[in-house]
Structure 1
Amino acid sequence: MERLGEGAVNTFMAFLKTPEDFKRYFDAGGIGSVEARIERLFGTRLKALQRKVTILLECPADDGFTSDLLVDSILVDCRALFLEHPNQKKNATLQTVYRTRRMDEAAASVDSLFDTVVSDDQSVRQVLKAWVDKRIVHIDWLWEDEEEKMLANVKALLFGDGTVGLLEVLDRIVEEYEYVKLTFGENYRAQIDRAFELFTGDPDDSPSDMSR
């Protein structure tokens, strides 16, 4: 099979040219399997992020070393899960998850949330990306005043000194995502199955009836 999206209208669909291609595709799960795998990968990392936030909030005030480790890890997770380059259309970000579900407006809403200005005319996206890229996964050369400004922006984001705090952003994102899963199913494949059940089942059945 060709790589995903190559020669296909659907970004998440392989270009199937031979009977062997079709067999491999359906052996892997068929329609919706790629989208479901992307969402599983995202969900696993999101649960780990939520656990880290919980541990951080419970961390003793005098344990600065553990707190710093958790903060760095949380920021890296946020960078990975929410701030991918638009050209990386199949990486397991929340925006990609929404696009696999054909929910482009929800994906755009997440982008807008991370474009919120938090401090020093910097958006949540800019603050997160700058700190993770220049001070965690890389150690870029910065003048002292540049580093101090970047650190101040991160603190404003983390501790809510600006217009919005990171935990507030995460709470909103997770709440909306959990609602999507509850309403439409665990992933795009489940969403398809639920739609077929709706269209082929008893028209008097409610969604709650069909979920049993």
Structure 2
Amino acid sequence: MTLLERIKRVTEKNSEGVKTPDVDLDALIDTIYIGCRSMFCENPDLKNNYTLQNCLRKANYHNEARVIDNILQEKKFTDSIMKDESFFSLVKLVSNKSIAHQESLSGKKREKIDYRYKFLNDNSNICEFQYYIFRCHRIYENIVKEYGDTLLNELK
């Protein structure tokens, strides 16, 4: 199941009225956070990790990788608890401090960790979350199209 299929399934469960805590829903939400972390949110100093941005840099699409990095740093969530988080910081916090490792946290970080399921259990929030992914994917699609068009022209 792809990342977008998982997001679609959470949206369907939300529309069906499934509420967290629900073992299946919560597990699905955790896989979304982990998938986003591995695809977009690795440490940028680790140049050999296979994030979308590092793959683009290796293919000499440095500007596009930088644009994606900037998108992921934007703070566009309208939810009152998550409004001060960027996509990058939210995904890193949840995946690093709660899913991959269980760490003792207090205050706002603990509140956000505890809230992670309810956040994506709301379709308006998951739409905002997904919008970050779609914007990054659109950049990737344009590169693939450009590369494909160039390759086809070279073969003529």
The two structures share one fold, judged by TM-score above 0.5: yes
Deviation at 1:101, TM superposition (A): 2.0
Verify the 8 A CA contact 1:158 1:167 in the aligned structure 2: no
Instruction: For residues 71-91 of structure 1, give each alpha carbon's deviation from its aligned partner in whole angstroms, at most 9, with x where no partner exists.
Output: 100100101110111222122
Identity of aligned residues (%): 23
TM-score, normalised on structure 1?
0.58
Query: Is the alpha carbon distance of 1:139 and 1:102 closer, same or farther for their aligned partners in structure 2, counting shifts above 3 Å?
Result: same
Choose from 127, 131, 136 the match for 2:94: 131
Separation of aligned partners in 2, 1:123 and 1:153: 14
The question of whether the paired residues in 1 share the 8 Å contact of 2:64 and 2:139 is answered with: no
> How far off its partner does 1:178 sit?
1.9
Q: Which residue of 1 aligns with 2:50?
A: 92
Query: How far does residue 166 in structure 1 lie from its aligned partner after superposition?
Result: 1.1
Distance 1:138 1:67, change over 3 A: same
Q: Which runs of 5+ in 1 are unaligned?
A: 1-46, 202-209
Aligned equivalent of 1:74: 32
Whether the 8 Å CA contact 2:37–2:92 is kept in 1: the answer is yes
- 1:101 alignment partner, one of 59, 64, 75: 59
What is the correspondence of 1:149-168 to structure 2 with a 5 Å cutoff?
A: 149-152=112-115, 159=122, 160=124, 165-168=128-131
**Structure 2 stretches lacking a partner, 5+ long:** none
Determine which structure has the larger helix proportion and give its number. 2
C-alpha RMSD of matched pairs (Å): 2.9
Match of 1:62 in 2: 18
The number of equivalent residue pairs is 145
Distance 1:108 1:158 in 2: 30
Q: 1:61 to 1:154 in 2, by over 3 A?
A: closer
Q: Which has the higher contact order (CA 8 A, sep 6+)?
A: 2
Report the secondary structure of 2:43's partner residue: coil
Structure 1 pair 66–103 and aligned structure 2 pair: CA distance change class (3 A): same
Q: Which amino acid aligns with 1:61?
A: G
8 A contact 1:115–1:124 mirrored in 2? yes
Q: Contact 2:94–2:116 (CA<8 Å) still a contact in 1? A: no
Deviation of 1:120 (Å): 4.7
Partners of 1:158 and 1:175 in 2: CA distance: 25
Please identify, of 95-104 and 147-156, the stretch whose mean Cα deviation from structure 2 is larger. Answer: 147-156
2:84 aligns with 121
CA displacement at 1:106 relative to structure 2? 0.4
CA distance in 2, matches of 1:62, 1:157: 12
1:53 counterpart residue number:
7
Bigger Rg over Cα: 1
> In 2, Cα distance between the equivalents of 1:158 and 1:129?
19
